[in-house]
Amino acid sequence: MSLARTVRIIREAGFARYWRNLNVLGDAKGGKLVGEDSIGNKYYEDPDEIPGRHRWVEFKSADFNASQCEPAWHAWLKHIQTEPPTTNPRMQNKHTWESAPQENLTGTRGMFKTYSTTKRKVHPWEPSVAPRS
């Protein structure tokens, strides 16, 4: 990271956001706030950055994962949509079959666990002690 880029980012974003991004994202980024989703995540874009690294998200919670990013914003981050959901008219309309986005709970206590509803075919052996005379 060059000194000129560092000074530019500190001027644009401020030192607190520069330091947070350096520690959380692993890179100091300064860009224009494009929008915020219903969870509170903030989405940024900087056209002066390297292509592929010029759109990013700052998650609201410190314990974050990729499933906390809403599908419409994910499409914008990965260049499936060119316009962000705030300005894209196709993303404004919700369909009746769409459900609210949910976080992936794999590896937590709330994860999905399958269970069987059929009778077992093989029963494990249970030892029994015969009474002594």
Both structure tokens of 101: 């986005």
Separation of alpha carbons 109 and 112, rounded Å: 9
pLDDT of residue 77: 93
Q: For residues 73 and 124, what is the distance between their CA atoms, to the nearest angstrom?
A: 51
pLDDT digits (tens, 9 = 90+) for 62-112: 888 888 898 899 999 999 988 999 888 888 787 888 888 888 888 888 888
**Residue in 102, 87, 109 with CA at minimum distance from that of residue 32:** 87
Q: Which residues contact 22 (CB under 8 A, 6 or more apart)?
A: 28
Q: What is the pLDDT of residues 29-38, one digit of tens each?
A: 878 899 999 8
**The token pair that represents 119 in the structure block:** 């009778």
Distances (CA, A) of 100 to 43, 45, 69, 130: 19, 25, 12, 59
This prediction's pTM: 0.73
